[in-house]
Amino acid sequence: MQNRSLSRRTVLASATVAAAGVVGMTATPAVAHRRDERLKKIIARMSIEAKIGQLFVPYFYGTSATSPSQFDQDRNLRELGVRTVAELIAKYQVGGVIYFSGWANNIQNPRQIADLTNGVQRASLALPTPIPSLISIDQEHGANVRIGSGATQLPGAMALGAGGSLLDARTAGRISGTELAALGIHQNFAPVADVNVNPANPIINVRSFGADAREVGRMVAAQVTGYQQVGVVACAKHFPGHGDTGEDSHTGLPVITHTREEWGRIDAPPFKAAIAAGVDSIMTAHLQVPALDPSNEPATLSPAILQGVLRDELGFDGVIVSDALNMRGVRTKYGDDRVPVLALKAGVDQLLFPPDIGVAYKGVLAAVRSGEITEDRLDESVLRILRLKDKVGLLSGSPYVSPKVVDRIVGAHKHQRAAARIAERTTTLLVNEDETLPLRRGQRKLLVVGASPAFPTDDTRTTVPELAKAFGELGYSTTHLATGRTPDAAKVDEAVAAARGRDAVVVTTDNVGPTSAQRTLVARLLATGVPVVHLAVRNPYDVAHLGDVPASLVSYGWTEVELRAAARVIAGRVEPRGKLPVPIQRADDPAEVLFHSGHGLSYDD
């Protein structure tokens, strides 16, 4: 096909669905037809190479689009074949990029993110076909946060499930979406629609709203609405459901053994609810579901699952996003050149995080040139992606963001106050023997001890000192000792010694198992005779392994907002109101339920 340049003016003049109504509303058939006709004119002027580029959402290193650190330039050159993300966009004409904190070093603070976004968009508008990038992120909140410092932190999915408020779930989505949009990030890979029915699930767990399919569906729909009302593309994940697996698809290929009836009852309802709420995108899972596809292809590569079930049976016509293509679960049978081709043939539209963008791009290009993938099939996915860009306003005006708007919106006091109120409604009190809680007036000297996961976006801040700080701000005299998830005998002895002379001990746990050394720590602290309060900072299932603790709570996460809420509950400043969104089985007899879904004490009980 001839490569004909498309002017910026033509692209940016393309009308949006938002221009005909409110962002997030479904367009009427007539409006949708007119929109598609305009977008098809854009597609007709695109080269094959530009169309293929629109499908990819790669990672990159560095905090700047054009001048990252030398270290990040070297990493980009080694892994991507370019020095900067601007060069990456120019070389492959990619339709979007994804931001990561930590290892990718894309995120420092809101002002820096805004500068990075503007640099990405300048590079996109300098292409022969100047179409703005759809910038993506995994900002689930709770245990999975990318933007930390400066942005509002919100309770994660299972915490919101414990709160049980659809209004809170929707509000959390609106706050998060408002701040992301201010930063020029218009696609968030959230919410998680998986139903966590397996306590041993190593990858979903508290990222899920709970174990009840109907309730999860209601929360998912609420969050989808919240995000999309403020112009951010929501993404329900991981289809067809990752909630009942004991294996991580990052490192293996899990198998979901549900029957077709069980899948329809357990896994499908949240995705149906998301589709009914108008979700713009759905992410695939790298796992096998024999009941849906006897060939045992990973769902990401399965026409039977993506086309047969998601498109034809559930009626979803939005963008299908692959889960990250660098994950082991999708690379077990095919090479990195074939995986994106097979994903497209199965029905995927956006190809997320290819392990080698050059290999993936050339693989798709070869498939199109050979006729294995038709240009019509290519155009279907490009049209869906352009619809998203159109819907969030990227094609109707400037894609650039204003530092002044960022300063006013991101981390706004009203957002933080709302987040604190939501978090206080999620903390769950499981056990309170002999009215151990709330702490009494004379219990002013506290020891905070235990597992101390690093804050999701800042490994210099960890749970135990931050929780101690929260108690200090409430007027307590606190000391703290982080013992980690695997405390040795010396560290346990140190904790026991530190408990002497304290009025109470708050001990945190993180993912306690049957052989966990955290069990020893809690048992030794109980033996001191000092009142012990247990706080599970992630999994609600920890309490099943700890014996007879006099007081036990769950925060479902360890961000600052969740820890502050837990401290206020323990201190009696607010009532515990959370209710378990999952059942907790006995550790010694999993057939027996220790705490049923819906369990949660108050101080009046």
Res. 167 pLDDT band, cuts 50 70 90? very high
pLDDT, one tens digit per residue, over 516-536 is 999 999 999 999 999 999 999
How many angstroms separate the Cα of 603 from the Cα of each of 428, 476, 507?
Answer: 11, 20, 20
**The whole model's pTM is what?**
0.94
Instruction: Indicate the pairing of strand 136-137 with strand 98-99.
Output: parallel
Tokens standing for 46? Answer: 């695109």
**pLDDT for the residue numbered 103:** 94
**pLDDT for the residue numbered 27:** 77
Res. 26 pLDDT band, cuts 50 70 90? low
Catalytic residue among 250, 379, 407, 503: 250
Q: What angle is formed at CA 485 by the lines to CA 484 and CA 489, rounded to 5 degrees?
A: 75
| Phi and psi angles of residue 100, each rounded to the nearest 5 degrees, phi first | -130, 150
pLDDT, one tens digit per residue, over 231-283 is 999 999 999 999 999 888 888 899 999 999 999 999 999 999 999 999 999 99
Tokens standing for 141? Answer: 């909140």
Q: Which of 395, 319, 280 is nearest to 26 (CA)?
A: 280
pLDDT for residue 435 is more than 70: yes
Cβ burial of 326 (10 Å; 0-12, 13-18, 19+) is middle
242 catalytic, yes or no?
Answer: no
State the CB neighbour count (10 A cutoff) for residue 498.
Answer: 19
Res. 22 pLDDT band, cuts 50 70 90? very low
**pLDDT for the residue numbered 216:** 98
Domains along the sequence of the chain with CATH: 8-409 (3.20.20.300), 427-595 (3.40.50.1700)
pLDDT, one tens digit per residue, over 188-240 is 999 999 999 999 998 999 999 999 999 999 999 999 999 999 999 999 999 99
pLDDT, one tens digit per residue, over 107-129 is 999 999 999 999 999 999 999 99
244 catalytic, yes or no?
Answer: no
- Range 215-238 burial, b when 16+ CB lie within 10 A, else e: bbbbbbbbbbbbbbbbbbbbbbbb
Residues linked to residue 187 through DSSP beta bridges, in sequence order:
136, 233
How many angstroms separate the Cα of 323 from the Cα of each of 129, 250, 309, 310, 590?
Answer: 27, 10, 18, 15, 32
Inter-residue contact 265 to 213 (CB < 8 Å)? yes
Distance CA 322, CA 340 (A): 9
Distance CA 497, CA 242 (A): 43
Catalytic residue among 168, 194, 280, 323: 323
pLDDT, one tens digit per residue, over 553-576 is 999 999 999 999 999 999 999 999
How many angstroms separate the Cα of 558 from the Cα of each of 109, 133, 456?
Answer: 20, 33, 8
Tokens standing for 309? Answer: 């079930």
Cβ burial of 402 (10 Å; 0-12, 13-18, 19+) is middle
Q: For 344-356, what is the mean pLDDT?
A: 98
